[in-house]
Structure 1
Amino acid sequence: MIYAAYQAQADLLDPLRSAARVSRRMMNTAWGAGWGAGFVHQNALLRNITAALEMFERVSLSHSRPAFGIGTVEVGNREVEVIEEVVARLPFGSLLHFRKDVDQPQPRILVVAPLSGHFATLLHGTVKTLLPENDVYITDWHNARDVPLSEGAFGFDDYVEHVIRFLEIIGPGAHALAVCQPCVQVLAATAVMAQEDNPATPHSITLMAGPVDTRINPTKVNELATSKSMDWFEKNLISTVPPGFPGVGRRVYPGFVQVGAFMAMNMDRHIKAHVELFENLAMGEHAKADTAKNFYDEYFAVLDLAAEFYLETIRKVFQEHDLPRGELTYRGEKIDFRAIRRTALLTVEGERDDICAVGQTVAAQDICSSLRPHLRRHHMQAGVGHYGVFSGRRWQGQVYPLVRNHILAAED
């Protein structure tokens, strides 16, 4: 019922948003033709009207993956074309490669994107920073509402299996970088591969702002996960994809619910950002407005999670803490994290992270107890919240150089 009600509302508002878009463009075109191109921008009332129309036009969610849009990157002293190519396509996710024509081989790195309501393009800034010096791949997760029921379920173990298969496709000698939620799955995949002496076991893993041990410094996210029963989550947050989509009948945790929950955590900040966006549009401050619009275009592009994966993650990671208790399993067998002996480990946390608090990610250092000291490193980035760990100026200037050195040190 939740999904059907949401979709009915979205279908009802779509024509109104289209009308707002047409009206705004007509105003600019008509007044531009009649009184000069700058007439609307010189009239405060008209600027406010067009700003209001654009704000209404933007109040919507997208369920399609935005483009990464990284056409070129500077390698050394020359501009190099970047070509996105799908190396492998599985029902619930694809392995996307940012191919470049460079003179020297670069470290191959798999960026494991979170599956938590947003598309992999949320890591656009992460990828763009990595690209000049690395051969970058990323897990491009699919929207569960677009996956037919005939493709089966997608649970926690299936996610781990995807990471293993993608690393095998990339080949021996690769590195893995996990952002947020998949830190647990990447750690699990690495241990499983090490146990099996898999030649594609990554040479290094970088775990950034992930919920390895959520018993430490619990955040609002952690408290919500532990304050309700599994029954509650299933009855209140899981919905069924309505007719009109390839995945009709599939049980999912809707992306619009997840984004709503994230926004509720910092509602004052989002309201302030939208007030500032309106003011910038009304004042003709297009550069400032574009920065906010680009962020929210990405933030409001949402995907649905398969119900199995969402519920198993809540239970295993947030309620029962299987990983730090040594009880995490893969395909029914307990995972032995002591098997990780040759994969270098870097953990990164943000001082102001209110999603994965300080202490939750560095816990991986103790879990990987067989690693010798020279293969372990931890960094706590001062002055950043969750997103600042993997995007923005401090990621580019302070965190990434540590990641680069970690990867290079683990190269053969």
Structure 2
Amino acid sequence: MYYQLYEFNHAALQPARAYADAMRLFYSNPLNPMAKTYLGRTVAAAAELFERSTRRYGKPEFGLTDTNVNGVRVRVREDIIWSRPFCDIIHFKRDLPAGAKPGPKILMVAPMSGHYATLLRGTVETMLPYADVYITDWADARMVPLSEGTFDLDDYIDYVIDMLGHLGPDTHVMAVCQPSVPVLAAVALMEARGEATVPASMTLMGGPIDTRRNPTAVNQLAEEKDIGWFRENAVMPVPWPHPGFMRMVYPGFLQLSGFMSMNLDRHLTAHKDFFMHLVKNDGEPAEKHRDFYDEYLAVMDLTAEFYLQTVETVFIRHDLPKGQMKHRGENVDPAAIRRVALLTVEGENDDISGVGQTRAAHDLCVNIPEAMRHHYMQPVVGHYGVFNGSRFRAEIAPRILDFMRSNPAGQASKAAAPEPAKASRARRKPAARRKPA
């Protein structure tokens, strides 16, 4: 019912949004003498603020058309090289100049936590001059028809295993926030099966490996409520006319409202400042505000089964750090990881994944040689700064690239890999999608 009310409210405000947009265009038109006055700029600013505050933000574009390689500006194009109903892999293919090395092959596993993969646009842009970048582009669940079946945490892990198998053993996997747990689980399962396509290295950034350490407000909510509460209050059917009509989802607008409420004063101040910048005709700060909130306010739905299984497994029961996590009945044992180098990155002021939650991966992956593991905590930055912003570009990204170059594929070939069972000699494919009853 709440989702339907949200849709009705959005539709009801459409005439007001159209009127506000017309007013903005009228009072900001350079041919209108009022556009140069304080009153005209105030009306235009108020109209834009109303329109932006009530609109639905669509899926953004990456918009990365070129990059700099060895001092040469080269063209970049997006190619989809792997596709499933709930995810694509996008390859940012560069036209490398003659003699230029491609650099490490990186699979960025973007968060499936309400925002689109374009949240990592800055992360991709920073890595492109030095690496061959691929990224997971998760589907908005409200856009996936029921006929495509369900998608839960086990399916997510299967997808990651199949992606790594597709890209090959020279891949460096990089999990940003939420994917840290399923990526670690996928690599552990691949190692336990003795699969040859395990990645060369695994970078976990600001992820909830063990949320019992320095719990944040997000973690405390999960501790206070049982899974029944989340099922009753956070899961709803997709309303008509979306392609995923009647699919049970955790709506993106609920996730967004939760994140915004954690820093409500900051968001209100940002919008007040945006209004004043428009009135003062201060274009650059206003444009930065637009760019940030165009991305931040664009949200996607998650399948209910994925959301509930993740909440229960990661945040309520803490199955992975307790050694109790299973994937389709198979034990997930991080101690099986021997051939994959491990880098963990945290932010000192992270209010989503507290300090120590990601570093906990080192306590679980006890059989990775010391020379193939490293932890880095970035001072001052919060959650977003772990993978984006000036400190990421200047201090975090160079460390990640150096770590990957220091741990190429085959670096740990001397480490004994377990002999795979006969049934696992061929690379295991994801389980067949389950059709709804």
CA-to-aligned-CA distance 1:58-77 (integer Å, 9 cap, x gap): 01353632000111100111
Question: Equivalent residue for 1:40?
Answer: 35
Question: Equivalent residue for 1:124?
Answer: 121
Question: Equivalent residue for 2:340?
Answer: 343
**2:192 pairs with 187, 195, 200, which one?**
195
**1:55 pairs with 49, 55, 78, which one?**
49
Whether 1:73 aligns to 2:71 is no
Question: Equivalent residue for 1:291?
Answer: 288
Question: Equivalent residue for 1:2?
Answer: 2
Amino acid at match of 1:348: V
Question: Equivalent residue for 1:314?
Answer: 311
The 2-side partners of 1:164 and 1:280 are apart by 48
Question: Equivalent residue for 1:324?
Answer: 321
Question: Equivalent residue for 1:258?
Answer: 255
SS of 1:138's partner is strand
CA-to-aligned-CA distance 1:56-100 (integer Å, 9 cap, x gap): 110135363200011110011100111011111211111111011
The 2-side partners of 1:245 and 1:28 are apart by 35
Question: Equivalent residue for 2:11?
Answer: 11
Q: Following TM superposition, by how much is the alpha carbon of 1:23 offset from its aligned partner in structure 2, in angstroms?
A: 1.9
Amino acid at match of 1:90: R
Whether the 8 Å CA contact 2:27–2:43 is kept in 1: the answer is no
Whether the 8 Å CA contact 1:348–1:378 is kept in 2: the answer is yes
> Normalized against structure 1, the TM-score is what?
0.97
Whether the 8 Å CA contact 2:27–2:41 is kept in 1: the answer is no
**Count of residues in Structure 1 that have an aligned counterpart in Structure 2:** 406
Question: Equivalent residue for 1:384?
Answer: 381
Whether 1:154 aligns to 2:151 is yes
Question: Equivalent residue for 1:398?
Answer: 395
The 2-side partners of 1:290 and 1:337 are apart by 45
**1:214 pairs with 208, 211, 218, which one?**
211
Gaps of at least 5 residues in structure 1 are: none
SS of 1:347's partner is strand
The 1-side partners of 2:226 and 2:31 are apart by 61
SS of 2:67's partner is strand
Gaps of at least 5 residues in structure 2 are: 410-437
Q: Map 1:24-35 to 2 at 5 A.
A: 24-29=24-29, 32-33=30-31, 35=33
Amino acid at match of 1:83: R
Whether the 8 Å CA contact 1:3–1:241 is kept in 2: the answer is yes
The 2-side partners of 1:12 and 1:354 are apart by 36
The 1-side partners of 2:57 and 2:219 are apart by 26
Amino acid at match of 1:226: E
The 2-side partners of 1:82 and 1:62 are apart by 29
The 1-side partners of 2:11 and 2:382 are apart by 36
Q: Following TM superposition, by how much is the alpha carbon of 1:34 offset from its aligned partner in structure 2, in angstroms?
A: 5.1
Whether the 8 Å CA contact 2:152–2:303 is kept in 1: the answer is yes
Q: Map 1:365-376 to 2 at 5 A.
A: 365-376=362-373
The 2-side partners of 1:60 and 1:101 are apart by 41
Q: Following TM superposition, by how much is the alpha carbon of 1:122 offset from its aligned partner in structure 2, in angstroms?
A: 0.5
Q: Map 1:139-178 to 2 at 5 A.
A: 139-178=136-175
The 1-side partners of 2:335 and 2:132 are apart by 29
Question: Equivalent residue for 2:430?
Answer: none
Amino acid at match of 1:370: N
Amino acid at match of 1:79: R
Whether the 8 Å CA contact 2:201–2:341 is kept in 1: the answer is yes
The 1-side partners of 2:55 and 2:21 are apart by 16
> Normalized against structure 2, the TM-score is what?
0.91
With 99-108 and 341-350 compared, the bigger mean Cα shift is at 99-108
CA-to-aligned-CA distance 1:341-369 (integer Å, 9 cap, x gap): 01000000000001101010000001001
Alignment RMSD (CA, Å): 1.1
CA-to-aligned-CA distance 1:192-244 (integer Å, 9 cap, x gap): 11112222211001000000000001100000111111111011110100110
Amino acid at match of 1:257: L
The 2-side partners of 1:50 and 1:378 are apart by 49
Whether the 8 Å CA contact 1:61–1:300 is kept in 2: the answer is no
**1:82 pairs with 76, 96, 119, which one?**
76
| Alpha-carbon distance change, 196 to 61 in structure 1, aligned in 2, over 3 angstroms | farther
Amino acid at match of 1:388: G
Whether the 8 Å CA contact 1:63–1:303 is kept in 2: the answer is no
Q: Following TM superposition, by how much is the alpha carbon of 1:105 offset from its aligned partner in structure 2, in angstroms?
A: 3.0
The 2-side partners of 1:67 and 1:55 are apart by 22
Give the % identical residues: 47
Whether the 8 Å CA contact 1:107–1:174 is kept in 2: the answer is yes
Question: Equivalent residue for 2:425?
Answer: none
**1:109 pairs with 87, 106, 111, which one?**
106
Whether the 8 Å CA contact 2:92–2:134 is kept in 1: the answer is yes
Whether the 8 Å CA contact 2:235–2:248 is kept in 1: the answer is yes
